[in-house]
Chains A and B, each alone.
Chain A
Amino acid sequence: MAPMSITREEVAHLARLSRLALSDAELDRFAGQLDVIIGAVARVQEVAAEGIPPMTHALPLVNVLRDDVVVPPLGAQAALAQAPAAEQRRFRVPRILADEA
């Protein structure tokens, strides 16, 4: 069997970076699957691409500007209508700092 291109520990790290609280069972499963996928996509490295410019986008568009026209905003009521939690016309979110900062 070919050497692993990605380890379970690396997948756990990716999950943390991705803000995904995965279970142990998920980590086991994804580690094997991602290893196969990364092995397959690594084929791009076979291509001789020396000096070839990278393409980020299909269109040669830069700095698309529009006229600076005032349009009615969404409004607080509409913006908050689908919030998981709201208070005092604001989004209510869990604490972002630890108790002892």
Chain B
Amino acid sequence: MDGELIRRTAADLAAAVAGGEVSAAEVTQAHLDRIAAADDRLHAFLHVAAEPALAAARAVDDRRAAGDALGPLAGVPLALKDVFTTADMPTTCGSRILAGWLPPYDATVTRRLRRAGVVILGKANMDEFAMGSSTENSAFGPSRNPWDLSRVPGGSSGGCAAAVTAFEAPLAVGTDTGGSIRQPAAVCGIVGTKPTYGGSSRYGVVAFASSLDTPGPLARTVLDTALLHEAMSGHDPCDSTSVAAPVPPVVAAARQADVAGMRIGVVTELAGEGYQAGVQARFGEAVELLGSLGAKVIEVSCPHFRYALPAYYLIAPSECSSNLARFDGMRYGLRVGDDGTRDAEEVMSVTRAAGFGAEVKRRIMLGTYALSSGYYDAYYGKAQQVRTLICRDFDAAFEQVDVLVSPTTPTTAFPIGERADNPMAMYLADLCTIPSDLAGNAALSVPCGLAPEDGLPVGLQIMAPALADDRLYRVGAAVEAALQQRWGQPLLTAANGLGDD
């Protein structure tokens, strides 16, 4: 195994491939070797596509040999969340109901990655249909946190975060509906972005909550995250909710890494009871650091953020109850009980009971409840009004400041099993990330240190107005550079759950 190769950044690897220092095939093989050595303990991947990955890498090497200009991520390996359709790999969404399903087409994001010469290593584990904050809801077993294998890597994009953290891949693409990119990034000590809603295509992303689902990048550095953000984004005529606007200049912003003169708001409501002391301490230090780098820091109140979590757990389940109606065992996926004695409706009910896990069932029923006549106005209707009020809080805040900041999560990574039987406790993991999903604006999590009480990573969340995604990278890169100078090394150097350093 080439230990040095897997520890390099995506930007570095792409430059090394383009410059002929190393072949894309060698880079890919090094990561496949790492997966072979580590993934039986991590379970970051549901499917590893070694041969197709090596073929894609050799194609990049051939293009280079032919003198073709290579894109900024050509030859760099990536873990793809198992919610994106891939015509040459199974797409299961972590669900028994889609076990072994081979989609007839590639998602737009999949297609863009392939076209950019990015090498897809395989499909990353996730909470079933992206519902969860720990990957424990995967029908195929949880992923583990590379800092401590007895803890969760967050979720729902937990396989993505575990793979990137453990050097199985320098890049991953996940989706964020209530925090599913930022929360795992935070608890694993890496970078993750929820782009502006509609900034990245949902075509070929198996739908959970369509008004919220947003594909986005995860990586170990802010610049790598920006490079992937740019490569995967842009208008897509196949997605009617795709934004017809240029991709914000995220890569330039990551290189700028300068907050001098920026106005930064600390959200009053995202602190206090329920927040771990070490999380608050590291967050406070990050805010001080931003001030010392020349930003003007003020406190900003967003009073309706207190109602974001309840509003989300009405809106997201409502949309999910509708979206998941398509899994009926008729045209694809699992079919159970078709023995000639049951009619189609009974087969659907038996199939769905056997194919969905507990959390998916809970959310389908919760959504069905919130949408039913007699309850609609009191629950779904009211939640939609709260969504408007949360947007107005953001609008008012962004009149005073350029970005808002908060901890990404109230606590560090929790032990596997701790919240498995307590859905409400699990939902609290998304307390700080949900407001940006409801508003559809952009947010990023960047590591800001380790909590002293448990030695686990803490994330700083940065939130920006819709289509101002570049501000996230300007601030994130400045924080990253200043903290690495203070630490003297990247944060992940301290991650040793696999015991291999």
Does residue B311 face the partner (Cβ distance < 8 Å to A)?
A: yes
Closest 6 CB pairs of A and B: A58-B440, A54-B384, A84-B335, A49-B385, A21-B349, A55-B387
Chain B residue nearest in CB terms to A98:
B343
Question: Are A44 and B338 also in contact (CB < 8 A) when A19-B345, A34-B362, A55-B391 are?
Answer: no
User: Closest CB-CB distance, A50 to chain B, in whole Å?
Assistant: 9
Bound Cα distance from A1 to B357, whole angstroms? 29
Size bin of chain A's contact surface: 35 or more
Does residue A89 face the partner (Cβ distance < 8 Å to B)?
A: no
Q: Are A96 and B383 in contact (CB under 8 A)?
A: no
Does residue A22 face the partner (Cβ distance < 8 Å to B)?
A: yes
Candidates A42, A47, A56, A66; contact of B386 at CB < 8 Å = A47
Total of A-B residue pairs, C-beta within 8 Å:
181
Chain B residue nearest in CB terms to A16:
B349
User: Closest CB-CB distance, A41 to chain B, in whole Å?
Assistant: 4
Q: Is the interface of B mostly helix, strand, loop or mixed?
A: helix
Bound Cα distance from A85 to B304, whole angstroms? 50
Candidates B241, B382, B424; contact of A59 at CB < 8 Å = B241
Question: Are A95 and B343 also in contact (CB < 8 A) when A15-B365, A20-B352, A55-B391 are?
Answer: yes
Q: Are A47 and B382 in contact (CB under 8 A)?
A: yes
Does residue A88 face the partner (Cβ distance < 8 Å to B)?
A: no
Q: For the complex, count residues of B whose C-beta is within 8 A of A.
A: 72
Question: Are A19 and B328 also in contact (CB < 8 A) when A44-B383, A57-B241 are?
Answer: yes
Bound Cα distance from A83 to B441, whole angstroms? 38
Q: Are B310 and A59 in contact (CB under 8 A)?
A: no
> What residues of A have a CB within 8 angstroms of the CB of B385 in the complex?
47, 49, 52-55
Does residue B45 face the partner (Cβ distance < 8 Å to A)?
A: no
Does residue B369 face the partner (Cβ distance < 8 Å to A)?
A: yes
Bound Cα distance from A61 to B342, whole angstroms? 43
B340-360 contacts to A, CB under 8 A, are 340, 342-350, 352-353, 356, 358
User: Closest CB-CB distance, B423 to chain A, in whole Å?
Assistant: 6
Chain B residue nearest in CB terms to A96:
B344
Question: Are A38 and B343 also in contact (CB < 8 A) when A18-B364, A82-B332 are?
Answer: no
A sample of 19 cross-chain residue pairs with beta-carbon separation below 8 angstroms, ordered by A number, consists of A19-B345, A19-B348, A21-B350, A21-B352, A30-B361, A33-B362, A40-B313, A41-B370, A43-B307, A53-B385, A55-B385, A58-B439, A74-B104, A83-B332, A84-B334, A84-B338, A85-B335, A94-B343, A95-B344
User: Closest CB-CB distance, B210 to chain A, in whole Å?
Assistant: 9
Q: Are A44 and B310 in contact (CB under 8 A)?
A: yes
Q: Are A49 and B382 in contact (CB under 8 A)?
A: yes
Q: Are A84 and B440 in contact (CB under 8 A)?
A: no
B222-268 contacts to A, CB under 8 A, are 237, 240-241, 243
A1-50 contacts to B, CB under 8 A, are 6, 10-11, 14-23, 26, 29-30, 33-34, 36-38, 40-47, 49
